[in-house]
Structure 1
């Protein structure tokens, strides 16, 4: 890859426009230093593997020894080994879960052995898509859950006002269209504690389409955490130290397959987060709208269809539960629903015997009522 170019061309209305070299600022030393920083960061987060798996979607999955994963670069974890997971909540049934076959990298029977964890290898082009090395794998600074500022829009169900020790739900997976590289569309569970100031603490998990982070439009399983309102701590997946992975069958950040189809088959995943003391739990969708003021993005949330269309057409969360003080899964009490911009993305809740507490949500973004 060249460090700089002396001539650039811009495609405008089908005509090539010659941009004069004297108008270009050449900074070869600056570019060289940037590449050095990128390679240094790659060496830090890509750990030595005992096996490498090439996924059909172009991902490289490294099977890394448990105690060599990025988590143990953290000063408080350095030199330690993973602890046994805490006791699962009462009422959790693992039957029907498909940990080996819902990600593309494992479709042909490839696995990582016990004692290792599968980690999606980060490439140079992944970091080059970010604004900087320091911002790679992080959400926007000062991003807040209680507002639709910074272009983030939501359609969520939530519970608050009590102590929650975890949450569970099943979410159907889609591949929503994302307007450009700077936007994303996700569906997730948020476990939230602290105020919405600098002490905000969240653990998040779900699926997302993020061309900037992954370089494609596949729905991917992800996690996120922060303990200072997205300012200095936390990151997606295993892109920084802190989050300890113990599962040898699921690669965080890897593509999910299959996904649901409109008026066709529905595919959902079940997420359980527990042993986390929280004051609020949120479930639902989020997108980023980077369009100029007065316009709206066409990035889809969920299936890209409104909640009223229902099953096989709209996206859903079903069997929504929380973990109580006695480590038991119970129905989410007083689940409320809220959409920041209901003409763009909306949400409708309900309850029945088969699905317990549930809601449909999502939308197309830009449309005649959301110009």
Structure 2
């Protein structure tokens, strides 16, 4: 039999235990809001850094806000080597063999369909919101590709179907690619089609310049294909970012918003819509310029951002990339390109046409010694060809998970 004193001792012990638990719960509930407050302060400080004061804001049909920011106030000029400067004038000449030096403006972005544009002396920048940042797994990850890279393409869940040339010195590349709306089935995956200008080893010193279109629910909050750019000088470890989300790319154009949705898009067995992209190194100043659409200059990556690409590129790639997170334990159903294999051809598969490179003499040349690489050809594949109308071309893409891709 227990004595009364023993029961009293147990009673007191229970009270003390409940007080300790209650105190811990109170402390945790206090701690969580404090952590949330700190996180939101960091997010808002970051937004203040990248969202510059605008002279005008345009509402896009897809919900984006496009801020018209004075060119000298854009994020690029936060860089110590650019602070206090203004954008350079466009290069006096483009690569030899380029069809035209005229800038032909087409309405190829949703925000510009109202014909309300940013005034001269400003550039359009897609406004970044708190929701945009909070969708990322961390503030460090926001606006960046984070992955490990190996020699052929990459690891860490990134899969490719690409055509590439290497073994020479390259000073740029050009191609036209059709635009689709591939399904992305996981919030942290993306699907893109782009060209890569590459130099350095596939290790910590990899330099890349990239441009094309992508669907990225994490970055943009929707499934629209969007015109994008990227760069890195250390294999995606600490440098570089998408679009204008860090100091780097200098935009000079007031009519194209990097990161804004592209419209129209291609349809299966229907009309095909493609965009032209050219990246080349200006022989005079050494910076890497970007051209989009029908001859429209967008801006440039200053050469000082890079190590190896201060001189030239050693590889050019064209094609598609997806993230396969295997979040459900099997291969993703995220589509590449149209979501159909290369074998289906025109009107059904995604393509790149008129693939060219820029040589040491600033001339556009057709490709020689073209290589094809598909990380998992049962999931996404690629085929190449050549004819008089399209020059060098590729079909690529696929559905992801299927009977042959598990």
TM over 0.5: same fold?
Answer: yes
Indicate the SS of the match to 1:78.
Answer: coil
Indicate the SS of the match to 2:214.
Answer: strand
Deviations 1:243-269 (A, max 9, x none): 101111110000000100000000000
Q: Quick one: which of 310, 321, 341 aligns to 2:356?
A: 321
Q: Does 136-145 or 105-114 show the bigger shift?
A: 136-145
Aligned position for 1:64:
69
Q: Quick one: which of 163, 174, 178 aligns to 1:172?
A: 178
Aligned position for 1:4:
none
Indicate the SS of the match to 1:257.
Answer: coil
- 2:230 matches 1:195: no
**Number of aligned residue pairs:** 350
Once the two structures are superposed, the pairs formed by residues 1-371 of structure 1 within 5 Å of their partners are 26=29, 27-86=32-91, 87-94=93-100, 99-144=105-150, 146-275=152-281, 276=288, 277-292=312-327, 295-371=330-406
Q: Is the 8 A contact 1:148 1:340 kept in 2?
A: no
Aligned mates of 1:346, 1:317 — CA distance in 2:
14
Give runs of ≥4 in structure 1 deviating > 6 Å: none
Aligned mates of 1:59, 1:162 — CA distance in 2:
42
Q: Is the 8 A contact 2:381 2:397 kept in 1?
A: yes
TM-score norm. by structure 1 comes to 0.91
Pair 145,119 (structure 1): closer, same or farther in 2 beyond 3 Å: farther
Aligned mates of 2:247, 2:102 — CA distance in 1:
32
TM-score norm. by structure 2 comes to 0.83
Indicate the SS of the match to 1:33.
Answer: helix
Q: Is the 8 A contact 2:147 2:155 kept in 1?
A: no
Aligned mates of 1:101, 1:207 — CA distance in 2:
16
Q: Is the 8 A contact 1:302 1:361 kept in 2?
A: yes
Pair 77,334 (structure 1): closer, same or farther in 2 beyond 3 Å: same
Q: Gaps (5+ residues) in structure 2?
A: 1-24, 282-287, 289-311
Q: Gaps (5+ residues) in structure 1?
A: 1-21
Indicate the SS of the match to 1:168.
Answer: strand
Per-residue deviation, 1:335: 1.4
Pair 70,177 (structure 1): closer, same or farther in 2 beyond 3 Å: same
Per-residue deviation, 1:337: 1.1
Deviations 1:78-135 (A, max 9, x none): 1111112223111112489764400000011111122111000000000000111122
Aligned mates of 1:131, 1:203 — CA distance in 2:
24
Q: Which has the higher helix share?
A: 2
Aligned position for 2:8:
none
RMSD over equivalenced CA pairs, Å: 1.8
Per-residue deviation, 1:141: 4.2
Per-residue deviation, 1:142: 3.1
Indicate the SS of the match to 1:31.
Answer: helix
Per-residue deviation, 1:334: 1.5
Determine which structure has more spread, i.e. the larger CA radius of gyration. Answer: 2
Aligned mates of 1:96, 1:325 — CA distance in 2:
23
Aligned position for 2:7:
none
Q: Is the 8 A contact 2:94 2:101 kept in 1?
A: no
Deviations 1:160-208 (A, max 9, x none): 0000000000000000000111100000000001111211100000000
